[in-house]
Chain A
Amino acid sequence: MKLRCAFKILQTINQNMALNLDDIKRIAHLARIEVSESEAQETLNKLSGILGLIEQMQAVDTTGIVPMSHSQDVTQRLREDVVTKTNQRELFQSIAPATQDGLYLVPRVIE
Chain B
Amino acid sequence: MINSSLKQLGQQLASKQVSSVELTQAYLQRMTQLNPTINAYVTIDEDKTLAQAKAADARIATGDFGPLTGIPLAQKDIFCAKGWRTTCSSKMLETFISPYDAHVISQFDAAGAVNLGKTNMDEFAMGSSNETSYFGGVKNPWDFDRVPGGSSGGSAAAVAARLCAAATGTDTGGSIRQPASLCGFTGLKPTYGLVSRYGMIAFASSLDQAGPMAKSAEDCALMLNVMAGFDERDSTSVNREKEDYTRGLAALTGEQPLKGLRIGLPKEYFAEGLSADVAKVIETAIAEYKKLGAEIIEVSLPNNNLSIPVYYVLAPAEASSNLSRFDGVRYGHRAAEYNDLMDMYMKSRAEGFGAEVKRRILIGTYVLSAGYYDAYYLKAQQIRRLIAQDFVEAFKHCDVIMGPAAPSTAFKAGEKTSDPVAMYLEDLYTIAVNLAGLPGMSIPAGFAANSEGKSLPVGLQIIGNYFDEARMLEIGHAYQQVTDWHTRMPEGI
Residues of A within 8 A of B (CB): 9, 12-13, 16, 23-24, 27-35, 43, 46-47, 49-58, 60, 62, 65-72, 74, 76-77, 79, 88, 91-92, 94-98, 104, 106-109
Which residues of B, 178-231, contact A by the 8 Å Cβ criterion? 192-193, 206
Question: A50 touching B420 by the CB < 8 A rule?
Answer: yes
Distance in Å from the Cβ of B343 to the closest Cβ of chain A?
Answer: 8
What would 13 A/B residue contacts be, using CB atoms closer than 8 Å?
A: A12-B371, A12-B375, A16-B372, A43-B359, A51-B366, A54-B312, A57-B313, A57-B379, A58-B375, A65-B382, A68-B381, A72-B192, A92-B330
Residue of A nearest to B323 (CB): A31
Q: Which 4 A-B pairs have the closest CB atoms?
A: A71-B437, A67-B381, A97-B334, A62-B382
**Within 8 Å CB of A107, what residues of B?**
338-341, 343-344
Give per-residue flags for B158-181: 1 if the beta carbon is below 8 A from chain A beta carbons, else 0. Answer: 000000000000000000000000
Which bracket fits the contact residues of B? 35 or more
Which residues of B, 332-379, contact A by the 8 Å Cβ criterion? 332-334, 338-347, 349-350, 353, 358-359, 361-367, 369, 371-372, 374-376, 378-379
- Which residue, B365, B372, B466, has most C-beta atoms of chain A within 10 A? B365
**Within 8 Å CB of B6, what residues of A?**
none
Which of B246-254, B302-310, B394-402 is found at the contact surface with chain A?
A: B302-310
* A94–B83 alpha-carbon span in the complex (Å): 12
* A34–B337 alpha-carbon span in the complex (Å): 13
**Within 8 Å CB of B343, what residues of A?**
107
Q: From B309, B329, B350, give the contact of A56 (CB < 8 A).
A: B309
Distance in Å from the Cβ of B454 to the closest Cβ of chain A?
Answer: 31
**Within 8 Å CB of B367, what residues of A?**
54
**Within 8 Å CB of A47, what residues of B?**
359, 362-363, 366
**Within 8 Å CB of B382, what residues of A?**
62, 65-68
Distance in Å from the Cβ of B211 to the closest Cβ of chain A?
Answer: 15
Q: From A24, A43, A50, A96, give the contact of B421 (CB < 8 A).
A: A50
Q: A43-B358, A62-B383, A97-B333 are in contact. List 5 more A-B contacts (CB 8 A).
A: A13-B375, A29-B346, A55-B309, A57-B310, A62-B386
**Within 8 Å CB of A67, what residues of B?**
378, 381-382, 384-385
Q: From A71, A95, A109, give the contact of B388 (CB < 8 A).
A: A71
Interface of B is mostly: helix
The verdict on B270 contacting chain A, using a C-beta distance below 8 Å, is: no
**Within 8 Å CB of A54, what residues of B?**
309, 312-313, 367, 376
Distance in Å from the Cβ of B330 to the closest Cβ of chain A?
Answer: 5
Decide: A49 near B309, CB < 8 A? Known: A31-B320, A107-B341.
no
* A48–B442 alpha-carbon span in the complex (Å): 33
**Within 8 Å CB of B437, what residues of A?**
70-72
Q: From B333, B346, B385, give the contact of A68 (CB < 8 A).
A: B385
Decide: A50 near B306, CB < 8 A? Known: A60-B383, A95-B99.
no
* A88–B82 alpha-carbon span in the complex (Å): 14
Question: B375 touching A16 by the CB < 8 A rule?
Answer: yes
Which of B20-28, B113-121, B232-240 is found at the contact surface with chain A?
A: B232-240
Question: A79 touching B362 by the CB < 8 A rule?
Answer: no
Question: A49 touching B236 by the CB < 8 A rule?
Answer: no
Decide: A74 near B312, CB < 8 A? Known: A43-B359, A53-B421, A65-B385.
no
Decide: A33 near B350, CB < 8 A? Known: A50-B363, A54-B313, A60-B383.
yes
* A16–B378 alpha-carbon span in the complex (Å): 16
Distance in Å from the Cβ of A76 to the closest Cβ of chain B?
Answer: 6
**Within 8 Å CB of A68, what residues of B?**
381-382, 384-385, 388
The verdict on B42 contacting chain A, using a C-beta distance below 8 Å, is: no
Decide: A79 near B372, CB < 8 A? Known: A34-B350, A43-B362.
no
Distance in Å from the Cβ of A51 to the closest Cβ of chain B?
Answer: 8
* A67–B285 alpha-carbon span in the complex (Å): 37
The verdict on B96 contacting chain A, using a C-beta distance below 8 Å, is: yes
Give per-residue flags for B84-98: 1 if the beta carbon is below 8 A from chain A beta carbons, else 0. Answer: 000000000000110
Decide: A96 near B331, CB < 8 A? Known: A34-B347, A47-B359, A72-B466.
yes
**Within 8 Å CB of A32, what residues of B?**
324, 327, 342, 345-346, 349
* A96–B330 alpha-carbon span in the complex (Å): 5
* A29–B235 alpha-carbon span in the complex (Å): 31
**Within 8 Å CB of B342, what residues of A?**
32
